[in-house]
Amino acid sequence: MEIQLVAIKEIITNPFLTSAVMSWFIAQFIKIIIEISKKSKLKTKDFVFRALFGTGGMPSSHSATVTAIAVGVGLKEGFGSALFAFSFIFVFIVIRDATGVRLSAGKQAQVINQILSSNPDSADKIPKIKEIKGHTPLECFVGVIIGLIVSLGIFST
């Protein structure tokens, strides 16, 4: 039991995890503020759930989260360490996926769904494709800035 409490305390006080979670939360909170300012999606029941856990939008919480970890690793382990190199490449892969693969897949799904909805015969036979949202480079850049600021704040104390 004591070992479990020590492990829980280590997890809660882990600055890498704290910076990642805080960066994610701040990015998602900003998304909610932006959506509220649009006032277009407030009427749906799942607004908060989509705003907190949905993909896409300004800023990228994925970029914020992985950047916070990479910056923290660089500050603690050194920017010349193997662990920082791994973290940096991880950031690059996540951002590339968000701006390339997921963004393109979402646009393709949108077009396919438009084609399917315009054909009455296929509308009943073929299910609608989920339209995932990727990120624009600007959304990822803002996410990187959030992760950087949060991590610098946590690791400078």
Task: Provide mean pLDDT across the span 30-43.
Answer: 73
Quote the pLDDT of residue 39: 65
Measured in Å, how far apart are the chain's first and last C-alpha atoms?
A: 31
The domain locations on the chain are 15-155
The confidence band for 36, taking pLDDT boundaries of 50, 70 and 90, is confident
Q: Percent of the chain beyond pLDDT 70?
A: 81
The confidence band for 13, taking pLDDT boundaries of 50, 70 and 90, is confident
pTM: 0.77
Quote the pLDDT of residue 52: 64
Using one digit for the tens of pLDDT, what is the confidence trace for 124-157? 677 777 767 778 889 999 999 999 999 999 998 7
| CA pair distance 153, 147, nearest whole angstrom | 10
Quote the pLDDT of residue 54: 66
Quote the pLDDT of residue 41: 54
**Residue 112 burial (C-beta neighbours within 10 Å; 0-12, 13-18, 19+):** middle
Task: Provide mean pLDDT across the span 45-54.
Answer: 62
